[in-house]
Amino acid sequence: MAAKENLTERKIVGWNFDNSYARLPELMFRQVAPAKVRQPAIAIFNIGLAQELGLDLDRLSDADLASVFAGQLIPEGGQPIAQAYAGHQYGGFTMLGDGRAILLGEQLTPTGQRYDIQFKGPGRTPFSRMGDGKAALGPMLREYIVSEAMHALGIPTTRSLAVVTTGEAVYREMTLPGAILTRVAKSHIRVGTFQYLAAQQDTENLTVLADYTIERHYSELVDAPNKYGSFFRAVVDRQAALIAKWQAVGFVHGVMNTDNMAISGETIDYGPCAFMDVYDPDTVFSSIDHGGRYAYGNQPSIAQWNLARFAETLLPLIDVDQHKAIEVATHDLNAFPQVFQRYWMAEMKAKIGLVDEEESDKELIAELLDWMHEAKSDFTNTFQELASDYLSDKGKFAAERFQHWYKKWQQRLEREGQPIDKAKRQMQSVNPFVIPRNHRVEEALDAASQRGDLSVMHKLLAALEKPFHRNDAYAEYQAPSGDTRHYRTFCGT
């Protein structure tokens, strides 16, 4: 009887699952069940996102809500699986798979969108290797904060629907509170998903996966003449656009392994990511990135490297003649720097209020960045100051080098033939006031993990929600931490 009541209740809340990935060939996934947890409790829940997904979870009691997002109460239509994939991690190839994630299913929203609903940290799967399949509260809240901030910044990203604590401890270097994040994504198909099949030289299933991915994310190419070549070109394009957006806000992903690059073009797998304060292309936060492979300034070339690995998986589909396939793929891969440059210029031009394009704009932007580097100027706030024309630090801005640049910029703005006010408004609409500053994120995570105090995080999330609106109530979130050169982040285990 109780089970029946639950069933109706599960329906009422609006779950509308399909499981198209689970209909793919069996080698692509394993059926799994989330582990039982002791005492699930909601740490944070994203009401706005729930509504977008068509979920009316208000009707559930807190206990049921926690139970659902701890994977204890599987909604009707959910079919939990762990996805198989491989990946180049720091350049070395490994077979991986969802070792601490379980895909519940694909929610079909009222507006006809399809979103993966995935638990991160729900216990062991057949791909867990030596790991426990679990996650700690701090890293899951970090993903929640940063992914939601990225979304508010207008950057394609997976989203975060909920974090629950499990009431259990996870054992890392120290004992930490266990948690599960519910991640929402266009899909979890990665470069590594293709590599998993390519490593087995399974061209038949590669074709199935490519067709599935094209239909799901590049449906305009379903009937394209050179379908798989066009698919590759479109993926290159979306990645170039995505990385340009990262660069424009100073986002450092931190672990751009091929398994962490989503074919949909969304930012995925928030582990040791962080935002750059002082402009420096060598900025690295990840504690294990000793060589700076994933440094801020390397992100475009690493994306291209990952796309080369992706191209390799598609060669047998692009053309039966291997030489021809390589020729086609190489051509599109080599176009990445230009494609990226085009997107990056569009982002950077908007940041300094330009609409037209002049030959010398590239140089104008480069000179600004060079000056910022030399002057150790905060990336976000410099653009903000230029936009508001409030050049606060007289010392820094008084420097001859900056003044020289400033004059050139003013002249360039005049040549646009637009009122300066209009340029300023444009700048204000693309240059964020608030980004998730490292010390603010840490402060929120410490309060939550060490004292069970979530109020600090709620305030931070509120500040991050409208990053382009000046709100004096959140002025304190604009300040850089002072010295984050030694700030270190850790992989989100």
260 belongs to the binding site for Mg ion (CB under 5 A):
yes
CA 350/CA 23 separation, integer angstroms = 44
Binding mask 204-243 for Mg ion (x = CB under 5 A): ----------------------------------------
Residues 272 and 164 sit within 8 Å (Cβ to Cβ): no
Residue type, 153: L
Residues binding Mg ion: what is the number (CB under 5 A)? Answer: 3
One of 116, 148, 269, 280 touching Mg ion (CB under 5 A): 269
Q: How far is the CB of 28 from ligand AMP (least distance, A)?
A: 15
Q: Which residue has the tokens 């009122």?
A: 419
Long-range contacts of 298-301 (CB under 8 A, 24+ apart): 299/243, 299/246, 299/247, 299/252, 299/253, 299/256, 300/240, 300/243, 300/247, 300/336, 300/337, 300/340, 300/344
CA 46/CA 272 separation, integer angstroms = 22
Q: How far is the CB of 71 from ligand AMP (least distance, A)?
A: 15
Give the CB-nearest residue to ligand AMP: 131
Nearest in space to 159 (alpha carbons), one of 186, 193, 137? 186
Give the CB-nearest residue to Mg ion: 269
Nearest in space to 263 (alpha carbons), one of 318, 329, 194? 194
283 belongs to the binding site for Mg ion (CB under 5 A):
no
Bridge partners of residue 93, in order along the sequence: 88
Nearest in space to 185 (alpha carbons), one of 143, 222, 220, 124? 143
Q: How far is the CB of 269 from ligand AMP (least distance, A)?
A: 5
CA 10/CA 486 separation, integer angstroms = 48
Q: If you write DSSP's letter for every residue of 330-341 in order, what string do you get? A: HHHHHTHHHHHH
Choose from ligand AMP, Mg ion, none: what does 493 bind? Cβ within 5-8 Å by kind: ligand AMP
Residue nearer to ligand AMP on the CB measure, 100 or 233? 100
159 backbone dihedrals φ, ψ, rounded to 5°: -120, 175
Residue nearer to ligand AMP on the CB measure, 96 or 427? 96
149 to 43, 93, 156: CA distances (angstroms): 18, 31, 11
Q: How far is the CB of 407 from Mg ion (least distance, A)?
A: 47
Q: Which residue has the tokens 């057949």?
A: 126
Residue nearer to ligand AMP on the CB measure, 14 or 80? 80
User: Which range binds Mg ion by CB under 5 A, 258-266, 381-389, 415-423, 436-444?
Assistant: 258-266
User: Which range binds Mg ion by CB under 5 A, 27-35, 78-86, 240-248, 257-265?
Assistant: 257-265
| Measured distance between the N- and C-terminal CA atoms of the chain, rounded to whole angstroms | 40
Residue nearer to ligand AMP on the CB measure, 52 or 132? 132
Binding mask 471-490 for Mg ion (x = CB under 5 A): --------------------
Residue nearer to Mg ion on the CB measure, 269 or 277? 269
Q: How far is the CB of 45 from ligand AMP (least distance, A)?
A: 23
Residue nearer to Mg ion on the CB measure, 50 or 117? 117
Q: How far is the CB of 32 from ligand AMP (least distance, A)?
A: 12
Q: How far is the CB of 487 from ligand AMP (least distance, A)?
A: 19
Q: How far is the CB of 405 from ligand AMP (least distance, A)?
A: 40
Q: Are strands 175-185 and 114-120 parallel, antiparallel or unpaired?
A: antiparallel
Residues in the chain, overall count:
493
Q: Which residue has the tokens 């210029």?
A: 345
What is the number of helices (H) and of strands (E) in the chain?
17, 13
380 belongs to the binding site for Mg ion (CB under 5 A):
no
Residues 161 and 117 sit within 8 Å (Cβ to Cβ): yes
- Residues marked active site are found at 259
User: Which range binds Mg ion by CB under 5 A, 71-79, 160-168, 268-276, 442-450?
Assistant: 268-276
Residue nearer to ligand AMP on the CB measure, 193 or 428? 193
Binding mask 350-379 for Mg ion (x = CB under 5 A): ------------------------------
**Which DSSP category does 378 fall into?**
B
Residue nearer to Mg ion on the CB measure, 262 or 364? 262
Q: Which pair of tokens denotes residue 466?
A: 């409208």
Residues that bind ligand AMP (CB under 6 A): 96-101, 127-128, 131-134, 259-260, 269, 271, 491-493
The contact set with Mg ion (CB under 5 A) reads 259-260, 269
